[in-house]
């Protein structure tokens, strides 16, 4: 692509009619130039050059020039025919989005903000005109043309978004999102020509309304109809003009400088619009899509935000998700800490550690019953439940069923710690392997797949540990007395606590008080067993991701 003084030109060569075609967006003059060279130098294709100036031209004229390129081959060269004009227009449409994207990236570093504002106006209008021209073509287009159409949607959205940030007061946008202001005005003309004249006019209220509505429309067309539509395969082909689908989704969804979604205010304003059906629909789609990408953190953020929107409790500074491998590991460490401490110092303060471990068991039970009675039965709020990936929890519960009431498993739990640790480590690594295989098959990238599989593994292990702590605390006394009693007769759990050798270090195999006993050895082993069985069953008998919503 040759460069002039500050201008980039798009040149296309047709060999049969011996024609060189040149397209130029002259940003300094705000003109779109169509030129040809049939051996005598470049000359204008049309008598008048289109410019983005309301007092001189209308976008309909640019549309007609594109239409003439397709329908009047004699404009190109004396030897050109209709096939040549179709080929030229197809190649122009294929190359134009990349040309404009490169130009925008270069000018963003070279031009002042006011000049860049005019460039974004022109590109938004030009991309909409070309997209409309593509939509009205009367013959079937190939995948390349469809790709160009999606690329034009991205350009329209990004250009309008830049104009929205520059020309519309942020307080007005926030009032629209909260439902305090309605941007719909029946008299507004939101066509390409209407936007053209609105932007060039002096009515700031009309500009505010038009940019908010059109940017919102472009946002949904790009995010929902392009990024979240995996059937288009636009992000997976080798020569795609886009980055990875997940990168493009996050770029559209997150509106913070670092592109990190942490709080509600980091979301795009169009995902914070109260009482808006399109907003709620897209948020639900995003939650499901992130779950299918095994991205629990962003899925959880969408789930909690959807619930807040539905209940009218959107708080800008609210943290949307705390899901991460680090937090899972910290939660596991917190649950295991009393038992680890007891393994070191139980003989020095047995009463203290009995209280500590019994208190943890009561705390876990209280949390579960609080969720069931308050969050579910009273508030009807299942966002926390859905954000925990319930298919993993369901698999773990299914995994507990065949092992919890089997005498041989309880007998195995009484083996020495090194054997239990070795078996548990083996089960854990195999479970991680199964998870990684599933995730990598869908995501492809090994590093990303391993990171996502590791997060799922830690989340599942946390759920298995918590479930085991509660289940064994409620009914483990019966199974322990039945299987761990030294003679033919069952021995009360309190007596077993004195008779059995320690699990590891000074940690007893039974710790706590009457009716509030924890069984650390059983929890340790059964957590890995249940998670392994649940994952194995899920992956082999379900042809859907383990994170698929219920």
Are residues 420 and 525 in contact, defined by beta-carbon separation less than 8 angstroms?
yes
User: β-pairing, 43-44 with 31-37?
Assistant: antiparallel
- Location of structure tokens 């759990």: 493
pLDDT at 337 over 80: yes
Q: Which long-range contacts (CB under 8 A, 24 or more apart) does 199-204 make?
A: 199/121, 199/163, 200/53, 200/54, 201/54
Query: Domain boundaries in the chain?
Result: 9-247, 254-323, 325-541
Percent of the chain with pLDDT over 70: 98
d(CA 399, CA 535) in angstroms, rounded, equals 8
What is the model's pLDDT at position 289? Answer: 96
404: DSSP letter: H
What tokens appear for 307 in the block?
């619930």
d(CA 524, CA 464) in angstroms, rounded, equals 9
The overall average pLDDT reported for the chain is: 91
304 or 476: which leads in pLDDT:
304
Instruction: Name the pTM for this structure.
Output: 0.90
Q: Which residues pair with 511 in a beta bridge?
A: 518
Average pLDDT over residues 124-147: 85
Percent of the chain with pLDDT over 90: 71
Average pLDDT over residues 56-68: 93
pLDDT at 1 over 80: no
- Location of structure tokens 């605390």: 473
**Angle at the Cα of 453 (from 232 to 302), degrees rounded to 5?**
60
Quick one: pLDDT band at residue 54, thresholds 50, 70, 90?
Answer: confident
pLDDT tens sequence across 228-286: 998 988 998 888 999 999 999 999 999 987 778 999 999 999 999 988 899 999 999 99
Quick one: pLDDT band at residue 3, thresholds 50, 70, 90?
Answer: very low
Quick one: pLDDT band at residue 402, thresholds 50, 70, 90?
Answer: confident
d(CA 352, CA 341) in angstroms, rounded, equals 11
CB within 8 A of 416, min separation 6: which ones? none
pLDDT tens sequence across 384-399: 899 999 999 999 999 9
pLDDT tens sequence across 219-236: 999 999 999 998 988 998
d(CA 476, CA 520) in angstroms, rounded, equals 11
Are residues 469 and 340 in contact, defined by beta-carbon separation less than 8 angstroms?
no
What is the model's pLDDT at position 5? Answer: 41
What is the model's pLDDT at position 21? Answer: 95
What is the model's pLDDT at position 4? Answer: 41
What tokens appear for 75 in the block?
């404009």
What is the model's pLDDT at position 97? Answer: 96
pLDDT tens sequence across 166-189: 999 999 999 999 989 999 999 899
Dihedral over alpha carbons 507, 510, 512, 518 (to 10 degrees): 100
CB within 8 A of 130, min separation 6: which ones? 66, 93, 96, 152
Dihedral sign from CA coordinates of 503, 504, 505, 507:
negative
Average pLDDT over residues 288-301: 95
Quick one: pLDDT band at residue 407, thresholds 50, 70, 90?
Answer: confident
Dihedral sign from CA coordinates of 383, 384, 386, 387:
positive
Q: Which residues pair with 24 in a beta bridge?
A: 9, 33
pLDDT at 334 over 80: yes
pLDDT tens sequence across 361-390: 999 999 999 999 998 999 888 898 999 999
What is the model's pLDDT at position 99? Answer: 96
Count CB-CB contacts under 10 A for residue 187. 6
Quick one: pLDDT band at residue 139, thresholds 50, 70, 90?
Answer: low
pLDDT at 541 over 90: no
pLDDT tens sequence across 411-436: 999 899 999 999 999 999 999 999 99
CB within 8 A of 150, min separation 6: which ones? 226, 232, 234, 242
497 or 396: which leads in pLDDT:
396
What is the model's pLDDT at position 2? Answer: 40
What tokens appear for 386 in the block?
């859905």
Average pLDDT over residues 328-332: 97
pLDDT at 512 over 60: yes
Q: Give the relative orientation of helices 113-135 and 192-200 as an angle to the nearest 10 degrees.
A: 160
Count CB-CB contacts under 10 A for residue 208. 20
304 or 79: which leads in pLDDT:
304
């Amino acid at each position: 692509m040759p460069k002039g003084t500050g201008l980039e030109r798009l040149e296309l060569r047709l060999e049969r009619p011996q024609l060189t075609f040149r397209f130029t967006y002259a940003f300094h003059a705000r003109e779109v130039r169509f030129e040809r060279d049939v051996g005598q130098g470049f000359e204008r294709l049309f008598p008048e050059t289109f410019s983005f100036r309301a007092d001189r031209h209308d976008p309909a004229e640019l549309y007609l020039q594109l239409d003439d390129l397709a329908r009047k081959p004699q404009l190109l060269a004396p030897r050109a025919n209709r096939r040549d004009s179709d080929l030229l227009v197809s190649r122009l449409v294929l190359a134009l989005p990349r040309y404009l994207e490169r130009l925008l990236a270069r000018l963003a570093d070279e031009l002042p903000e006011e000049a860049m504002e005019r460039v974004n106006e022109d590109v938004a209008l030009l991309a909409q005109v070309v997209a409309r021209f593509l939509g009205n073509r009367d013959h079937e287009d190939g995948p390349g043309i469809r790709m160009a159409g999606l690329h034009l949607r991205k350009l329209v959205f990004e250009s309008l978004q830049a104009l929205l940030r520059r020309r519309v007061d942020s307080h007005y946008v926030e009032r629209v999102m909260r439902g305090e202001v309605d941007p719909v005005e029946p008299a507004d003309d939101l066509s390409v020509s209407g936007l053209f004249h609105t932007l060039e006019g002096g009515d700031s209220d009309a500009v505010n309304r038009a940019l908010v509505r059109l940017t919102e429309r472009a946002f949904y067309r790009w995010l929902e109809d392009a990024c979240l539509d995996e059937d288009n395969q636009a992000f997976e082909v080798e020569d795609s003009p886009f980055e990875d689908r997940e990168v493009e989704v996050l770029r559209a969804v997150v509106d913070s400088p670092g592109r990190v979604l942490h709080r509600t205010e980091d979301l795009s304003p169009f995902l914070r619009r109260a009482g808006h059906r399109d907003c709620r629909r897209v948020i639900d789609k995003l939650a499901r899509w992130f779950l299918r990408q095994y991205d629990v953190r962003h899925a959880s953020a969408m789930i909690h935000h959807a619930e807040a929107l539905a209940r009218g409790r959107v708080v800008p500074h609210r943290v949307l998700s705390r899901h991460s491998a680090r937090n899972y590991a910290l939660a596991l460490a917190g649950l295991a800490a009393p038992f680890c401490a007891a393994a070191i110092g139980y003989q020095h303060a047995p009463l203290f550690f009995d209280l500590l471990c019994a208190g943890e068991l009561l705390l876990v039970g209280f949390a579960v019953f609080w969720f069931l009675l308050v969050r579910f039965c009273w508030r009807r709020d299942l966002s926390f439940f859905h954000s925990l990936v319930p298919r993993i929890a369901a698999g773990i519960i299914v995994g507990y069923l065949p092992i919890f009431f089997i005498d041989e498993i309880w007998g195995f739990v009484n083996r020495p710690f090194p054997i239990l640790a070795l078996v548990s480590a083996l089960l854990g690594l195999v479970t991680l392997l199964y998870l990684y295989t599933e995730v990598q098959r869908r995501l492809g990238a090994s590093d990303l797949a391993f990171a996502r599989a590791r997060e799922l593994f830690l989340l599942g292990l946390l759920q298995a540990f918590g479930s085991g702590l509660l289940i064994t605390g409620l009914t483990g006394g019966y199974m322990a007395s039945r299987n761990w009693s030294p003679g033919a007769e069952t021995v009360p759990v309190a007596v077993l606590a004195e008779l059995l050798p320690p699990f590891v270090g000074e940690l007893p195999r039974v710790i706590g008080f009457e009716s509030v006993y924890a069984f650390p050895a059983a929890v340790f082993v059964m957590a890995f067993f249940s998670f392994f069985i649940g994952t194995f069953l899920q992956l082999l008998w379900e042809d859907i991701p383990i994170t698929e919503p219920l």
